Structure formats: structure tokens, C-alpha cells
Amino acid sequence: MATKLAAGNFLAGATSRLLPASIPLRFFGAAVASHVFAWLALLAGSAGLPRFAGGLGWTLAALHLVTLGVLAMTAIGASLQLLPVATRQPVRSMRWPVLVWWLYAPGVAAIALGMGFAQPWLLATGAAAVVLALLVYAALLAQNLAGARGMPVVVAHGWTAFASLLVALLTAFSLAFTYIGMPLLDRGAGLALHVLFAAYGFMGMLALGLSYILVPMFALSAAPHERRALASCALAILALALAAAAALGAAPRPLRIAAVLAAAVAIALHLRLMTVALKTGMRRELGRSFRLVRISWALLALSLVAALALAVDLPFDGMPTLFGLVLIAGWLLTFLLGILQRIVPFLASMHKPPGKSPPRTPSSLTADRPLAVHFWCHLAALTLLALAIVLDSTWIAAAGAVVGATGAGAFAAFYVILLLRMRRPPAARAPPMPRLLDPHQWTDPVLDGYSSIRIPLLDRR
């Protein structure tokens, strides 16, 4: 059965390729904490948000707490765990992922504090630690991709993310040392390349690539069409190359427009494949988490519209800031938070609690009320920040930061509750019997521990 190939084969033997729970969960925990601190830093720097154009301060610190502290932190933890499972390889070492965390988490904190308090020496120290951590992670990523068996779509996106990470590291190092008078690149070109390859290249390609695993797995659908997915990847690579050439000064306006058009076709193909996976999956209702994912897809498309507006020099002073908001907080952060509230309980349920108790199910580990609070606060915060940029209003920006911090606190409560529930054995009671006449009311067989052998029994197509 196609559905079994998409979900069951991915999970087959997965427990033998799992890291200890403490490794991915420490990355996710640091990301959850960074999420809270990012909104608080934005509140401290809200006066500079509506027309933010760079420079040290709490607005820049908030941006990097999101990009490095939430997005990249989660990407590292998720890829270290998911890629060995997806590429059918054993975990070779536990020490290197732990080393990455001990270098990376303090480094991100030093960068944020150095930016917030305008201390270039602290910023440079943190940047050095983060670059070293990401180089170790890049080596682990390359080792995993080089030994991959199957999943060519995920591997192609992974190699693109790997190359983009190297460019992002080079430009980040140059930008950090600009503040102490030792830039490696022209600041304008370095900044354009850094945004391009950090957001669309590294984080974006990882998000698109892992979507080909996660969306079919959670929807219980067949794997997406391989050739179309590879065509989408190729067009995305073309878009990155064109935008990079434009950033370096080669026919900037025509190449930027061409890059946006290539990216638009790539994203259209990708979203078509994701829509088919959701529509044809046996699990049609994926709840609030996938409403966030769908919203993030719309914001991804909107980020290309904003990029096109920048390419044609739309006469609006706040357009660069609005572009950054839609790209970073709109697409990437919203997508990640939607996926994270699914994947954290899923991974946690695959680790047996102490004693003789059976593993917990994802639904029993998930506290829904904090996630409901987070959902509305996150969307309201994005709306308020967009309004603050359009109206050039400091007060609306501060209000958006307060609402965002409230939502981040609720998300942190969800995570803490999950950790506490992991330590407790499940309640000793039998699950209710499914209603045979209504298969859509059945518990998710993948998420709640049913054997993959049972998945084809639900396939009525």
C-alpha cells in the first residue's frame, strides 16, 4: 500500500536509529526558551521596529533570537534525529551532537546579549562559538547525507541547505566582525547574501525537504511525486543562484525579478504536492497545528510578493522590515511552531518511560489548552507587528510584542507539561473502541502507537 510506504516504512526500525531523548529535547527546549526571550527583546526594542534598518540593539537581538535561537536550534535538533531515520543510517556518535549544543546555545545567548547591550566583543565571541558549532553540525549533516539510502528528494534539499549554511556562516562572520572594524565582505552584499542563504537557503530548504517526510507521515498519505519534487528543488536552487548574483552586483534588478519568478514556480510545485498529500491522506483533520502550517504556506507566497516589491524599489520606507517580518516570523516561525507541536510529542512517545510502563502516546503527552492560547496570540502578534510597520507606530509594535510573549509563554507551558508527563506512566485504562462506521473518528495510527500493519485497514480508496 502506498500509504504504508509513506508512513510505515519511514517508521520501520526507527527506534534503533533514535538519539537519546535528552539530545533532541535539549535543542527543542532551548528553542522554546529563545522564543520567549525573542518577544521580550522585541518589546525592549519596539521603538526601533517599524523602520528597522540594522544596527546593534534589542531589535537586532530579537531577530537573531528567532533565527538562531528558535529556527536554527530547532532545525539542528530535528535534523539530527530525523535524517538518520529517513536515510536509514545508525547514529554514529552521541558526543558530537552534545558538543554542538554546548557550543551553540551559549553562543546564541552571547550574540543576543552582545547585540542588545551593544558590546561588540561579546557579539564576536558568541559568533565564533556559533560558527564553530555550526561547522561541526555541517560535518554531521554532510556525513549523514553522503551515506543516505533512498529519499533523493530529501537528500537534494539537504545538500542545498548544507551549501547554504556554509555561505550563511561566511557572511555572518563577516557581518559580526564589521562591528570591530574587520569585515570580510562589503556590508551591503554580505547582508543580502546572509538573509538569502540563511532564511531561504538553509532554513527554507530544510523546511521544504523535511516537509516531504513529515506532511505525508502525519496525513497518512502516499509519498509526493518524486520528479515534481526534484523539479521544485532545482528551481529553488536556480532562484538562490540568481539572487546571489544580484546581491554581488550583476544586473541586480533583472536578476532579482528572475529569482522571484523561479522561486514562485518552485513554491507552487511544492505547495501543490503538499496539498495533494493532505487531500489524499487517510487522516484529513490534522487540527490546529496544521492550520498554522497552512497559514505559513500562504505567508511563504506573500514573502515572494514582498521580495518582488523590494526588487522593483517600491516607494515604502517600511518594506524591508515588512519583508523580514513576513519571511522570518510569518513563514518560517509559523511553520516551525506548527510542526514542532506535532513532532515533539511524536518523538517523545517513541522513548519508553522508566520502569515497565508502556510508552506514552503523543495525544496523552499534549496539553491542548496552552496551544490554543498560543495559536491566537501568535496570529494576533503577527497582525499587530505588520500594522505597526505600515503605520510606523511604536505603541502597536509594543502591543504586538506583549501578545507574542504571552503566546510564547503558553507554548513554553505546553513543552514543560510534556516533559513532566514523559516522566509519569500512562493511566492504566483501556482505550475506547473505535467506531467502525466512521473511520475518520479513529485515533491516528501513527501518532498514537498503532502498528503500521493496521494502516492499510483504514485505506478505503
**Cα–Cα distance measured from residue 85 to residue 10, given in angstroms and rounded to the nearest whole number:** 7
Alpha helices (H) in 14-119, listed in sequence order? 22-44, 58-64, 73-86, 95-116
* Element of type H or E holding 408: helix 394-422
Place of cell 538518520: 84
- Per the structure block, which three cell numbers stand in for 401? 510584542
User: Cα(410)–Cα(406) distance, rounded to whole angstroms?
Assistant: 6
pLDDT tens-digit readout, 126-179: 988 999 999 999 999 998 888 777 789 999 999 999 999 999 988 887 776 666
Least confident of 45-49, 282-286, 415-419: 282-286
Please state the separation of Cα 96 from the chain's center in Å: 22
Instruction: Calculate the alpha carbon distances from 269 to 19, 43, 228, 234, 263 in Å.
Output: 33, 38, 7, 11, 10
Domains located in the chain, CATH noted? 2-349+360-423 (1.20.210.10)
In this predicted structure, the answer to whether residue 22 has a pLDDT above a threshold of 90 is no
pTM value surpassing 0.85: yes
Which pLDDT band, with edges at 50, 70 and 90, does 316 fall under? confident
Residue 460, pLDDT > 90, answer no
How far is it, in rounded angstroms, from Cα 369 to Cα 95?
A: 36
> The cell 518582488 sits on which residue?
308
User: What pLDDT score was predicted for residue 7?
Assistant: 47
DSSP assignment of 219-271:
HT-PPPPHHHHHHHHHHHHHHHHHHHHHHTTSSHHHHHHHHHHHHHHHHHHHH
3 state SS of 77: helix
pLDDT in tens, 223-235: 898 999 999 999 9
H runs (alpha helix) in 94-225: 95-116, 120-146, 152-178, 187-195, 205-219
Q: What is the pLDDT of residues 355-402, one digit of tens each?
A: 556 667 888 888 899 999 999 999 999 999 999 999 999 999 999 999
What per-residue confidence (pLDDT) applies to 437? 40
Q: List, for residues 79-134, the tens digit of each pLDDT value.
A: 888 877 776 776 667 889 999 999 999 999 999 999 999 998 898 899 889 999 99
Per the CB < 8 A criterion, the answer to whether 130 and 68 are in contact is yes
